[in-house]
Amino acid sequence: MIAKLQCVVLDCADVLELARFYQSLLGGVVNQPDPRWSLGDDWATLHTETGLMLAFQRVEDHRPPRWPDPAWPQQFHLDLGVTDLDQAQEEVLKLGATLLDAGAQKRSWRIYADPAGHPFCLVRD
């Protein structure tokens, strides 16, 4: 095992509106203090009572998906927790991932694409 699923991140226009929507469905706490996340106008979280965490990321000019129309695809990514970013990066690259943000060596997270092109982040636990 290389990583642990930390949360699922959904793109949207209004992070608090979508966080509150999912809170109504799943329960939990919107924007619970958590040292892993910086909250603000562009980012919100929902810690559910089951331990599942959803995050909401504001995207400029967000175009909602129109399932099943591939011209308007689904928009989310996985955040995967790791203890050693450099080691995890080496392992996911060997598995066929592609590094998407080569200048991010000093951050606590890095962005990759899986072999099919879906983005995911490795986040230092």
Q: How far is CA 114 from CA 31, 32, 53, 63, 92, in A?
A: 29, 30, 21, 22, 9
Find out whether 44 and 56 touch, Cβ atoms under 8 Å: yes
pLDDT tier for residue 85 given thresholds of 50, 70 and 90:
very high
CATH number of the 4-60+74-124 domain: 3.10.180.10
Written as six digits, the tokens of 20 are 């509150």
The H-or-E segment that residue 93 falls in is: helix 85-94
Find out whether 42 and 93 touch, Cβ atoms under 8 Å: no
pLDDT at 57 over 90: yes
Ranges 65-69, 88-92, 101-105, 110-114: which has the least confidence = 101-105
Q: Is the pTM of this model over 0.85?
A: no
Average pLDDT over residues 33-58: 93
